[in-house]
Amino acid sequence: MARPTSATIHTDALRHNLAQARARAPHSRVMAVVKADGYGHGLERVARALEGADAFGVAALSDADRLRAAGLSQPIVLLSGFDEADDLPQLRRLGVETVVHHHSQLAMLEQAGEGEPIRCWLKVDTGMHRLGFAPEDVREAYARLAALPAVADGIVLMNHFAASDEFERPQTRDQQRVFAQATAGLGGARSLANSAAVLGWPDAHADWIRPGGALYGISVVEGTTGADFDLRPAMTLSTRLIAVNRVRKGERIGYAATWECPEDMNVGVAAIGYGDGYPRAAPSGTPVLVAGQAAQVIGRVSMDLMTIDLRGLPEAKVGDPVVLWGPELPVERIAEVSGTIGYELTCSITRRVRFVES
Ligand SMILES: *Cc1c(COP(=O)(O)O)cnc(C)c1O
């Protein structure tokens, strides 16, 4: 029998979430961020479901290549920008737009040979201090770009927020102010908002929003799940019980014997582990659903298997479905107890997991 571990991708949910993003930012165009294989949901599958987006955002030229090979003709933006001169002919061939965040890229564009002009998104570092031109360097970078034959008309000005998921924190306001000052008077569309800013900072919607996580139904706002923002999870991760064993009081379960049975009890073994992308950091007590009912992980998650406390579920039997996350069990809850965010969990699903669409 094939391993019963699967990730079911809910394409309706992807479309619903795109509509929600549009409804929240009715005056903005939407770049659907599909980097990291569509946050682990499958790049081509996600892009087809989201073909109503105005553009796609990727982090690798190879992803742009895949989108074009899949027949998608929307604008594509390379979010971390090109990093060598040899990327430029590829950008032109694929008709891909690029973020420009560094002087080294300006120099490469100045040396670019003849060819189709490339649309550029000029990135301003407004306080995240990852990528972008310092505010005081933006005008010069803009002028150099605008003068180049290799650069298409209509430079877009963008930034990236560091803490937009914290709705009470002043940092996002400060970053907006720095952006407005650095770009005052420069022509072109503006783009500031990632998912959390789409949800919590309507002033920052501007001309282009760039949601990623929200499209997959995942919230990064602490203590919330996508459902709190009318978003629907786009992935259900599931498997089956492959054993149900009676274990005596005082016996210990799994590697390092971390969990001791407080009484004689049934222990379920599910065919999923960190080799599938389920987090090893998920502690005893992490929720799962067995045949639709709440149960808990006990002991260490291992590579191929996990063990489940079946004390509340006397009927549970081999073959019962086990849901690790999905619409009935938010991935944000699993992420929280595992010390991470939902994005990392969906991105971590490995290739041996069977992907299906529903
Ligand atoms: C990943 C990314 C996004 C999307 O972020 P989410 O939190 O998933 O919405 C937006 N803009 C840039 C530049 C990114 O790298």
Task: Give the domains, in start order, of the chain with CATH numbers.
Answer: 11-217 (3.20.20.10), 235-357 (2.40.37.10)
Give the C-alpha separation, 122 to 303, whole Å.
Answer: 43
| 282 CA to centre of ligand 1 in angstroms | 26
Is 303 marked within a binding site? yes
Is 162 a residue whose pLDDT tops 90?
yes
Q: Could you tell me what percent of the chain has a pLDDT over 70?
A: 100
Q: What is the pLDDT of residue 231?
A: 98
Give the C-alpha separation, 325 to 15, whole Å.
Answer: 20
114-153 confidence digits (pLDDT tens):
999 999 999 999 999 999 999 999 999 999 999 999 999 9
Q: What is the pLDDT of residue 131?
A: 97
CA 35 to chain centre: 7
Stated pTM of the model: 0.97
**Residue 2 pLDDT grade (very low, low, confident, very high; cuts 50, 70, 90):** confident
Structure tokens at 10: 């809910």
Residue of 41, 79, 98, 347 to mutate, ligand 1, most atoms within 8 A of C-beta: 79
Tell me which of 35, 39, 142, 278 is the catalytic residue. 35
Q: Is the CB of 21 under 6 A from ligand 1?
A: no
H or E segment at 297?
A: strand 293-298
Q: Is the CB of 286 under 6 A from ligand 1?
A: no
252-289 confidence digits (pLDDT tens):
999 999 999 999 999 999 999 999 999 999 999 999 99
Q: What is the pLDDT of residue 249?
A: 98
Task: Write phi, then psi, for 235 (nearest 5 degrees).
Answer: -135, 135
Give the C-alpha separation, 217 to 17, whole Å.
Answer: 6
**Residue 186 pLDDT grade (very low, low, confident, very high; cuts 50, 70, 90):** very high
225-256 confidence digits (pLDDT tens):
999 999 999 999 999 999 999 999 999 999 99
Q: Is the CB of 160 under 6 A from ligand 1?
A: yes
Structure tokens at 289: 């659903």
Q: What is the pLDDT of residue 11?
A: 98
Q: What is the pLDDT of residue 1?
A: 62
Give the C-alpha separation, 157 to 190, whole Å.
Answer: 5
| 297 CA to centre of ligand 1 in angstroms | 32
Give the C-alpha separation, 116 to 221, whole Å.
Answer: 41
25-58 confidence digits (pLDDT tens):
999 999 999 999 999 999 999 999 999 999 999 9
Q: Which residues pair with 308 in a beta bridge?
A: 268, 297
| 214 CA to centre of ligand 1 in angstroms | 10
CB contact at 8 A, 162 and 128: yes
Mean pLDDT of the chain: 97
Count of other CB atoms within 10 angstroms of residue 333: 14
Q: Whose CA is nearest to atom 3 of ligand 1?
A: 194
Q: Is the CB of 211 under 6 A from ligand 1?
A: yes
Q: Is the CB of 190 under 6 A from ligand 1?
A: no
| 305 CA to centre of ligand 1 in angstroms | 33
Q: Is the CB of 123 under 6 A from ligand 1?
A: no
**Rounded average pLDDT over 179-208:** 98
Q: Is the CB of 210 under 6 A from ligand 1?
A: yes
Q: What share of the chain is helix, strand, coil (3-state, %, to 5)?
A: 30, 25, 45
Q: Can you tell me which residue has the tokens 């002087």?
A: 103
CA 88 to chain centre: 26
| 194 CA to centre of ligand 1 in angstroms | 5
Tell me which of 123, 216, 255, 278 is the catalytic residue. 255
Instruction: Check if 39 is active-site.
Output: no
CB contact at 8 A, 306 and 269: yes
Q: If you count them, how many residues does the chain have?
A: 358
Burial class (CB in 10 A: 0-12, 13-18, 19+), 69: exposed
Q: For residue 343, give the ligand 1 atom closest to its CA.
A: 8
Instruction: Check if 216 is active-site.
Output: no
Under DSSP, the state recorded for 47 is H
